[in-house]
Structure 1
Amino acid sequence: MKNKFIYLAIIAAGFASCEPEFENTVDANYTSGDADFTSYVAVGNSLTAGYMDGTVYRVGQTYSFPNLLAQKFALVGGGEFTQPSYAEDVNNLGGIQGLTGTRLVINASVGGVQPIAGSPTITLTPQATAYNNMGVPGAKSFHLTFPGYGALNPYFARHATSPSATVLGDAMLKTPTFFTNWIGANDVLAYATSGGAQADGVTPAADHNFTGNTNPATYGGNDITNSNVFASVYSTIVTTLTSNGAKGVVCTIPSVTSIPYFTTVPYAPLSPTALGGSANINALNAQLYGPLDGIFTAYGEPNRVNPLSATSANPILIYDADAIDRSAEITGALSGTLGVPTATAFGMVFGKARQATAADLVVLPASSVIGTTNASSPSALININGVSYPMANKWVLTATEKARVANATAAYNASIVSIANANDIAVADMNAIMNQLVTGLRIETGQLYTANYFSGSATEGLVLFSLDGVHPNARGYAVIANEILKVINEFYNANLPLHNPSYFPGINIVPSN
């Protein structure tokens, strides 16, 4: 008969001041199976670091999935698990002094998402310590083996053991007997979250599966990593982690279509009311949409721009870097009625414009830009973002760009599975799990969770993502930890208990800010 003692501390969901308490389960039948958790090391990026609500903060870090795994490993002989220190974050605000802002919260008094009031107290004071959690926010696959990466990434700078240290090298200082490796998301996610644009928000970032560039030292920050580069680096990482006989779990990369950063803002949010009613819609059609529709149709693109509807929601106007450039055609067609200077301005602004479609993904931050005035517009006649001025490249992941992301993700995941099989280590298919969230993921307790963004108190208990729309909240990290625990139990013949995600906080709500 099982001798089980369970101590459950139910965490009050939502309020940022809550300190974490975790279920603590002891069961004589729990076993590590074929795994050895004496020294567990986690390598990865922000998803491993416990990043949520747009930053790493002291309490949020305690909910990192590696820390949640380590709690269960401790039941079967797992050793101490250390994480980079955020003790200086005394007010639990997150951010790094002079570099990044504080964490996001819901301000209940106004009902919106805001950075929590206050200034970051986290500094870059060197800790020069190798930790068990070597998740580094912002890291791409090839960054883990890059000497001196701390000079490029403040998160690693805080704890790199030396100026020339590598993330992987510091991880190996812990002599891992078991590891998790969830790296690779940023190799494609940086491109996706930037709408396929470089840092200027306009110039297209590169897909190096198309360019063939295999030198990551020459990559832009938002470029897609060449899949051969990824496979080579990933193989090095796994070979190194297993070099002393360690076992582990590698995680596949989720599809961007499964996270609320890309699924929350609709492509057609412009209601007749938002556009100012029929009179304004008729004016826009007469002065802008009608002429553009006529020009594009004349050149074989009849649905690139359609007149606005006065009875239903309309798509936003966007800049598409891959669209045929019709600047000259627009300038020529409108010069007779608008004059050459104004027609030239129209050609410059709308030459690569089109209306968004259901195949495009509008990024979450665009919600605060649509309908605002564009200060860089050459004319007051065409200066409303998404309405009379195309949304910049960075605000929309187009269907073409989405396909590049999907192709790269598929190639990366194929390499991850192949390398794992070659090294006889387990795979946690996080891509499949995240995709299930789109239609609904029912966990062992019977609770159904979705990939929706926070939309009010009625849905708070169902939300697994934090307010940045990319990273999980504490409850989401508990679900991730459980999926990895299930893989460990099956692959390594272990018997480890799962967390109950409902005991973990969801969205951070403060009464006022």
Structure 2
Amino acid sequence: MKFINTLPLFFCCACFILAGCEGQESALVDARLEENPVPEQQVQATQGNADFTKYVAMGNSITAGLMDAALYNDGQKFNFANLLAEELKMAVENDGENFDPFDQPDINAENGFNISVPNPDPESNTVLGRFELDPDIPGPVPTPGEPIAPFTGDKEALNNFGVPGIVVGQLLTPATGGPQSPQNPAFTPFYQRFATDPGTSTILGDAINTQPTFFTLWIGSNDVLGYALSGASNEALLTGVSNFENQFNTVVNNLLAGTSASGVVINIPPILALPFFQAVSYNAITLDPVSANQLNEAFSGFNTALEAIVTSFGHDPEDADRRKVHYAAGNNPILVIDEELEDLGPKFDQLQMAGAINAQQRAALVPYEQARPLDPGELVLLQAGALLGTEADGDDSERDTPVGVVVPLGFDLSDGTLNGDPFYLTKAEQTRITERSVSFNTAIATAVASNSDRLALYDTNDPQGIFHDLFGLDGSAPGITIEGVTLQPDFSPNGVFSTDGVHPNPRGNAIIANEIIGVIEKNFGSEIPRVDVLNLGSVVLAR
């Protein structure tokens, strides 16, 4: 029997149905456009009480324009800050003033350097670039890429200080620009490449030195997102609340003291609603009746062993029931390694010593000593999709060992090591991530309220906001409709996210830019044109 033949292939987003997407043709606009496609709009643009003549953007990967897991030319061209700058320029020029060109540290790479895969590729030793969507999987595939190269333009004329991957503290430390060494975890080549003085200057200092008149600040997401992306497996990636508060306040205070600028601060969005955490369902294992019955027969010995340790050794019956494997026709929970479970190896050994099982049966139980099916409500991370249904023994012809079905996700069949944590988030881990996000957002809101004469908050978690509707956070169907076209919170052709499942695509960036414009208009009395969302591309298909 070959259960893999009955399983869907999830590299990244198994929920896509590429055929029949409403508006698919218009969604597949070529992202490599020669001009920024901002249409003429009949709007009486004005700056109001703000001064947009020199706009500066500070933040992390979304501000920088990282898209499809890489920083590349089109991602920079269509980041929200660059789109926003085009609209602010109209208001400035309509007021008879000169707009300082919005200069970015151009990456000069068609495909960029992929940060989500081993790079260089260990098999070919070649650099891999951005993802494209392969409809045959369906899922992303990397393109040929380019190494991260130094910025050769005028570093002192820049307006975009977005640096992929950074946390709040990295805005403040010179170590972000160097040196590159294992002893300097703050280092990132994405800042070093355009730092005015690598190892001495800071991102915030470089931004302040440009003396902006208006800014956007979107920082803090990575202080909790990195932890979430690791499957809550790396505590070092979760910033403490007091550290966050101190660092964020330092950023805001220095920014306001060092410039006369006003600006918009953006908080941490509902990150667990991102397609990275939603694309693969906890019950992604689809079986036909015959395969389900065969699997149940195969797992009967494991389930019997669980009952035996309850009867013989007083093992917790609830824990045993949680670990039991029962398959049915249709969708079934993924079988995973859970390192937080008690290791049942010693109790299975006792069963063998008591003569309840033989040596061969004991050996067969090894992969399941800390295994269980996922529970409803647990979130599967995107990288799990590439493994589900693949043969754990690497041989499709001799054995039948589909990952997540027969062999638990996170169990290495070659050496017996366990590493299930990076593939899913338990409910307790989700709660911790959400609570930490709320704490950080409280600190952000407090800082903005304390400086309300110069700062405005864009609350991405507003129950009345567009992201609440996009993600369906009120329990309604996810998606938003713009000019009759329904856009989805995924990276399908009608989606607003890029193929990495975290960063927006051009349409998503346009939505963000328009939301920020609404905040500006409300708080500064401005009138600003909107970006035409549907005139921008969405996902790029592999060719």
SS in 2 for 1:103: strand
1:434 is aligned to: 467
2:501 to 449, 457, 469: 469
Asked if residue 70 in structure 1 is aligned to residue 85 in structure 2, the reply is: yes
Is the alpha carbon distance of 1:150 and 1:127 closer, same or farther for their aligned partners in structure 2, counting shifts above 3 Å? farther
Structure 1 vs Structure 2 CA RMSD: 3.0
1:233 is aligned to: 247
Is the alpha carbon distance of 1:344 and 1:226 closer, same or farther for their aligned partners in structure 2, counting shifts above 3 Å? farther
Q: Aligned equivalents of 1:33 and 1:398: distance in 2?
A: 48
Amino acid at match of 1:236: T
Asked if residue 45 in structure 1 is aligned to residue 60 in structure 2, the reply is: yes
Q: Deviations over 1:198-241 (max 9, x none)?
A: xxxxxxx22xxxxxxxxxxxxx3xx2110111111111111122
Asked if residue 193 in structure 1 is aligned to residue 193 in structure 2, the reply is: no
1:158 is aligned to: 193
Q: CA deviation at 1:435?
A: 3.3
Q: Aligned equivalents of 1:407 and 1:28: distance in 2?
A: 41
Is the alpha carbon distance of 1:504 and 1:294 closer, same or farther for their aligned partners in structure 2, counting shifts above 3 Å? farther
Using structure 1 for the length normalisation, give the TM-score.
0.83
Q: Deviations over 1:169-222 (max 9, x none)?
A: 11112112111111111111111112112xxxxxxx22xxxxxxxxxxxxx3xx
Unaligned runs of 5+ in 2: 1-24, 93-98, 122-126, 179-186, 410-419, 473-477
CA contact (8 A) 2:276 2:382 kept: yes
Q: Aligned equivalents of 2:484 and 2:291: distance in 1?
A: 46
Amino acid at match of 2:528: L
2:514 is aligned to: 482
Q: Aligned equivalents of 1:429 and 1:449: distance in 2?
A: 21
CA contact (8 A) 1:295 1:329 kept: yes
CA contact (8 A) 2:129 2:143 kept: yes
Q: Deviations over 1:232-283 (max 9, x none)?
A: 111111112222221111111112222111111111122223x971453133
Is the alpha carbon distance of 1:327 and 1:232 closer, same or farther for their aligned partners in structure 2, counting shifts above 3 Å? farther
Is the alpha carbon distance of 1:293 and 1:44 closer, same or farther for their aligned partners in structure 2, counting shifts above 3 Å? farther
Asked if residue 307 in structure 1 is aligned to residue 337 in structure 2, the reply is: no
CA contact (8 A) 1:290 1:307 kept: no
Aligned length: 466
Q: CA deviation at 1:384?
A: 4.0
Query: Sequence identity of aligned pairs in percent?
Result: 31
1:4 is aligned to: none
Q: Aligned equivalents of 2:435 and 2:342: distance in 1?
A: 23
1:86 is aligned to: 107
Q: Aligned equivalents of 1:486 and 1:136: distance in 2?
A: 25
Amino acid at match of 1:388: V
Q: Deviations over 1:69-124 (max 9, x none)?
A: 1101111224211111123x2xx21217959621111245x454344543426524
Is the alpha carbon distance of 1:393 and 1:121 closer, same or farther for their aligned partners in structure 2, counting shifts above 3 Å? closer
2:162 to 116, 135, 139: 135
2:350 to 315, 328, 332: 332
CA contact (8 A) 1:125 1:158 kept: yes
Between 383-392 and 124-133, the greater mean CA deviation after superposition: 124-133
Alignment of 1:202-281 (within 5 A): 205-206=234-235, 220=236, 223-243=237-257, 244-273=259-288, 277-278=291-292, 280-281=294-295
Unaligned runs of 5+ in 1: 1-9, 198-204, 207-219, 455-459
1:178 to 211, 214, 217: 214
Q: CA deviation at 1:334?
A: 5.0
Is the alpha carbon distance of 1:271 and 1:485 closer, same or farther for their aligned partners in structure 2, counting shifts above 3 Å? same
Is the alpha carbon distance of 1:125 and 1:36 closer, same or farther for their aligned partners in structure 2, counting shifts above 3 Å? closer
Q: Deviations over 1:449-479 (max 9, x none)?
A: 331341xxxxx2x310111111110000000
CA contact (8 A) 2:521 2:528 kept: yes
Is the alpha carbon distance of 1:137 and 1:314 closer, same or farther for their aligned partners in structure 2, counting shifts above 3 Å? same
Q: Aligned equivalents of 1:333 and 1:250: distance in 2?
A: 61
Q: Deviations over 1:355-388 (max 9, x none)?
A: 1012211111211101223359xxx999542123
